[in-house]
Chains A and B, each alone.
Chain A
Amino acid sequence: MIPVDYYIILSAVLFTIGALGVLIRRNPLIIFMSIELMLNAGNLAFVAFGRSYEIAGGEPFYTGQIFVFFVIAVAAAEVAVGLALIVEIFKTKKNINIDEMNSLKG
């Protein structure tokens, strides 16, 4: 008996916290984890909406879940590549403070 709004609010809050983490933390690993948090918040919203459709429609509705399935897969791929990148950067710079990566400074 939970209104879908509550789920959505939760999702929004989690998303915001993830965004906050991206903005505040200087460790790229933490930033990456915040990004995962954001993705996760999105997944939650997907599932919540899918469920409300299913209830409203009366028949089984799997699109939301399948979407989340794909998101998880993509998140996994992204994490793999991203972490490899971070490792490489650490090899070069011996330091993974994101404020040190300012070669794009103009």
Chain B
Amino acid sequence: MYLSETISSGFFFLAPWLVFAPLTGLLINLIFSKPFKFSENMVGTVASLASGAAFVVSVLLAYSVSINHGEVVRWRLAEWIHIGTLNLDWTFRMDSLSTTMMLVVSGVGTLIHIYAIGYMHEDVRFKHDEGRFNRFFIFLNLFIAAMMILVSGDSYMMLFVGWEGVGLCSFLLIGFWYEMDTLGRPSWANSNAAKKAFIVNRVGDFGFLIAGFLMFWHLGSFQFDEVFKAAPAVAESAPWVIVAITLFMLIGVAGKSAQIPLYIWLPDAMAGPTPVSALIHAATMVTAGVYLVTRSASIYTLVPQAQYIVAMVGAVTALFAATIAVGQYDIKKVLAYSTISQLGFMVAAVGMGAYTAGMFHLITHAFFKALLFLSAGSVILGMERGHHHAAHAHAARDEKPKGKHALSKVEGKKEVKNHGHEEHGDEVFDPGDMRNMGGLRKTMPVTFWLYMIGTLALAGIAPFAGFWSKDEILLDANLHFTSIYWILSAAAFLTAFYMGRQIWMVFFGRPRHEAAAHAEESPKVMTVPLMVLAALSVLGGALNLPFEGFHNLGHWLGYTLGEVESLPLDLKVAGISTVLALAAIFISWLIYGRNPLKAGQPDPLKKPLGFIFTGMENKWFVDEAYFAVIINPFKKTSQFLADVIDWRFWHDFVHDTVILGTYNWLSEVALNQYADQKGIDAFANWLGAATQSVSAALRKVQNGFVRSYALSVMLGVVLILGYLIFK
């Protein structure tokens, strides 16, 4: 089973443990947690250790690749499909690109696992379902395993296996609280969001599969090396094939990495618990599309037209999503649209051919977006805690007068614990709504500083990591594609603006709701991983500084992608982007920070921007358009097919009326009445009647008179004699 191409030294034999370590963690939790009654900490620790083991293996593999000077090592685990000319194996591919992804996924993933122990401990309590704790970590480990399969695959089909696997895990985790909506009310909302993610991803997968089929048909294989070797010849003879392959792959990228027109699932995916949003929808799964394009670099460079389309898609998405983020009120929704926007940056980068810049931004974005999401989770839990404390305080106050709270203090507290939410006059409390927040800087200081670091990194303020990576993209765009440069710059401006808006609304000013007033800081198990991520957000820029000798990432990826141009720092571009970011933050302070919003006050931008802001608020009605154009006609068609065609026509008419009626007629009229009653019955009855009449006639012979008996004897004599005479 061991097949190593070239290997001198290293830990390449550890490759399968990338997948099997998380799987082991999953199985332990799945099988042993109930019978052995694992505590919550135990389950979380097992899962985090499994993920951490995968991280350790990634580190070792990266180290092994580096000491082999970036040579590609392929390690086959098992045969999969060998039919005709199709040969697919489960082979692990270890080169600089895949190990980079492995490190990001397992590293950030492990930190999020640790964070999730604390987060889910409180989340299951707020949602009154402690039994669901274990399931979360089982799914998280499954996700890590699937993502590892994706990034370590040696062929497009192995990549697709992981692709589908992460799609499944996304579905399972988004719909974690499947029976309620984000506010805890019984609803279809969460499961609908999960379905939406899965189905929209499916559309992307369709594109990926068509690309795969074209690849196999024209290039003869799925395996990366063989494809890349065969591509140039086909590009010469039939360029439309390569264009088709790349554009269909773009559909897959648009699905998985949330680009136009398939980004719509990502904002709804915020229905899942916050660690899920951080891990899957910020740091890892959504980057799979970027990884795919980077991996297929040698194909894309053959078709510059397709590359341009990819870049435009990315750029337009970046700007579009940024505009929507400006009008959102939910803290996670802002971050979701921000993710879509940043993914647009990455896709634009790899579309322009700046693979290093794209991967660099992928890595730094993983750091600071995970940091932002997890901090947002901390904020949300803080609001929940505040809400609980406020409810307690109310209950304590309401206990004094007589009435339905005339219970002892202990009982009263217990009662409040169960009905805390309803005691506040039946309002449903949304802990994520920024309009309820305000002034959290004072009550949650650690979270505040972490969030600040993330914001600055995202806005692209030097020397945080985001600045270096975003700047490199803008640099490349400026040099090669000016239109894209302008679009991306506008998106960067808006990015800084909406992040500033968020900071002012959440952390500054006065609390607009008692929950915000009573908010509490999160425990260490949650804040410590965040600090690690914050450190990475600050220092991550060192991965690829635009100075000579510091192009570490470029050099590293160059082993796989071929030599990439390493651009030096262009002060003009850097300066413009920094000025734009600072200006945006300043403008946001002017609008939101100087006169902090009060409770119930509408957004200050509403009046000046009018219908533009309404559009931003309602995500430019894209979902509604999809519903009107695609989903509702589809539903109507399927309704029609089901009701009219299937039920009324096939079932009622054909089955019941035609077939059943014919059968009934046949059996009742034709067979029963005619054949049976008139025919067979009549004959049988006639036989009986005939026998009766004959016997009635014959009975008259026995009349009891001797004379007639004698007469018959005489008759017999005469006849016999006659016979004998005349014989």
Is A in direct contact with B (CB under 8 Å) within the complex?
yes
A105 interface residue (CB < 8 Å to B)? yes
Tell me the chain B residues, 676-719 only, with Cβ under 8 Å from chain A.
699, 702-707, 710-711, 714
Tell me the chain A residues, 35-79 only, with Cβ under 8 Å from chain B.
none
Is there an interface contact between A104 and B702, defined as CB atoms closer than 8 Å? yes
Enumerate chain A residues within 8 angstroms of B714, measured Cβ to Cβ. Answer: 19, 23
Is there an interface contact between B710 and A104, defined as CB atoms closer than 8 Å? no
Shortest B253–chain A CB gap in Å is 106
Q: Of all chain A residues, which has the CB nearest B708?
A: A23
Shortest A105–chain B CB gap in Å is 3
Q: How many angstroms from the CA of A103 to the CA of B704 in the assembled complex?
A: 6
Q: Total number of A-B contacts with CB less than 8 angstroms?
A: 28
Shortest B714–chain A CB gap in Å is 6
Q: How many angstroms from the CA of A26 to the CA of B711 in the assembled complex?
A: 13
Question: Interface extent on B, as a size class?
Answer: 10 to 19
A84 interface residue (CB < 8 Å to B)? no
Is there an interface contact between B710 and A106, defined as CB atoms closer than 8 Å? no
Is there an interface contact between A102 and B703, defined as CB atoms closer than 8 Å? yes
Is there an interface contact between B706 and A101, defined as CB atoms closer than 8 Å? yes
Is there an interface contact between A105 and B704, defined as CB atoms closer than 8 Å? yes
Enumerate chain A residues within 8 angstroms of B706, measured Cβ to Cβ. Answer: 98, 101
Enumerate chain B residues within 8 angstroms of A105, measured Cβ to Cβ. Answer: 702-705
Is there an interface contact between B704 and A102, defined as CB atoms closer than 8 Å? yes
Shortest B708–chain A CB gap in Å is 9
Enumerate chain B residues within 8 angstroms of A104, measured Cβ to Cβ. Answer: 702, 704
Q: How many angstroms from the CA of A99 to the CA of B208 in the assembled complex?
A: 114
Is there an interface contact between A98 and B707, defined as CB atoms closer than 8 Å? yes
Q: Of all chain A residues, which has the CB nearest B699?
A: A106
Q: Of all chain B residues, which has the CB nearest A104?
A: B704
Shortest A8–chain B CB gap in Å is 14
Q: How many angstroms from the CA of A23 to the CA of B711 in the assembled complex?
A: 6
Q: How many angstroms from the CA of A69 to the CA of B706 in the assembled complex?
A: 30
Is there an interface contact between B704 and A26, defined as CB atoms closer than 8 Å? no
Q: How many angstroms from the CA of A104 to the CA of B702 in the assembled complex?
A: 8
Is there an interface contact between A26 and B702, defined as CB atoms closer than 8 Å? no
Q: How many angstroms from the CA of A103 to the CA of B710 in the assembled complex?
A: 16
Enumerate chain B residues within 8 angstroms of A14, measured Cβ to Cβ. Answer: none
Enumerate chain A residues within 8 angstroms of B707, measured Cβ to Cβ. Answer: 22-23, 26, 98-99
Q: How many angstroms from the CA of A102 to the CA of B707 in the assembled complex?
A: 10
Q: Of all chain A residues, which has the CB nearest B701?
A: A106
Enumerate chain A residues within 8 angstroms of B711, measured Cβ to Cβ. Answer: 23
Q: How many angstroms from the CA of A31 to the CA of B702 in the assembled complex?
A: 21
CB < 8 Å neighbour of A99 from B699, B702, B705, B710:
B705
Q: How many angstroms from the CA of A46 to the CA of B38 in the assembled complex?
A: 130
Q: How many angstroms from the CA of A41 to the CA of B153 in the assembled complex?
A: 131
Q: How many angstroms from the CA of A101 to the CA of B3 in the assembled complex?
A: 120
Is there an interface contact between A23 and B703, defined as CB atoms closer than 8 Å? no
Q: How many angstroms from the CA of A99 to the CA of B705 in the assembled complex?
A: 6
Q: How many angstroms from the CA of A20 to the CA of B711 in the assembled complex?
A: 9
Q: How many angstroms from the CA of A22 to the CA of B711 in the assembled complex?
A: 9
Is there an interface contact between B710 and A22, defined as CB atoms closer than 8 Å? yes
Enumerate chain B residues within 8 angstroms of A26, measured Cβ to Cβ. Answer: 707
Enumerate chain A residues within 8 angstroms of B705, measured Cβ to Cβ. Answer: 98-99, 102, 105
Q: Of all chain A residues, which has the CB nearest B717?
A: A19
Q: How many angstroms from the CA of A105 to the CA of B711 in the assembled complex?
A: 16
Q: How many angstroms from the CA of A98 to the CA of B710 in the assembled complex?
A: 12
Q: How many angstroms from the CA of A22 to the CA of B699 in the assembled complex?
A: 24
Q: How many angstroms from the CA of A4 to the CA of B534 in the assembled complex?
A: 158
CB < 8 Å neighbour of B704 from A22, A23, A106:
A106
Enumerate chain B residues within 8 angstroms of A106, measured Cβ to Cβ. Answer: 699, 702, 704
Q: List 24 A-B contacts (CB under 8 A).
A: A19-B714, A22-B707, A22-B710, A23-B707, A23-B711, A23-B714, A26-B707, A98-B706, A98-B707, A99-B705, A99-B707, A101-B704, A101-B706, A102-B704, A102-B705, A104-B702, A104-B704, A105-B702, A105-B703, A105-B704, A105-B705, A106-B699, A106-B702, A106-B704
- Additional 11 contacts, C-beta under 8 A, given A22-B707, A99-B707: A19-B714, A23-B707, A26-B707, A98-B706, A98-B707, A99-B705, A102-B703, A103-B704, A104-B704, A105-B702, A106-B702
Which 9 A-B residue pairings sit nearest by Cβ, starting from the closest?
A105-B704, A102-B704, A106-B702, A104-B704, A102-B705, A23-B711, A23-B710, A22-B710, A105-B703
Please give the residue numbers on chain A whose beta carbons come within 8 Å of chain B beta carbons, in ascending order: 19, 22-23, 26, 98-99, 101-106
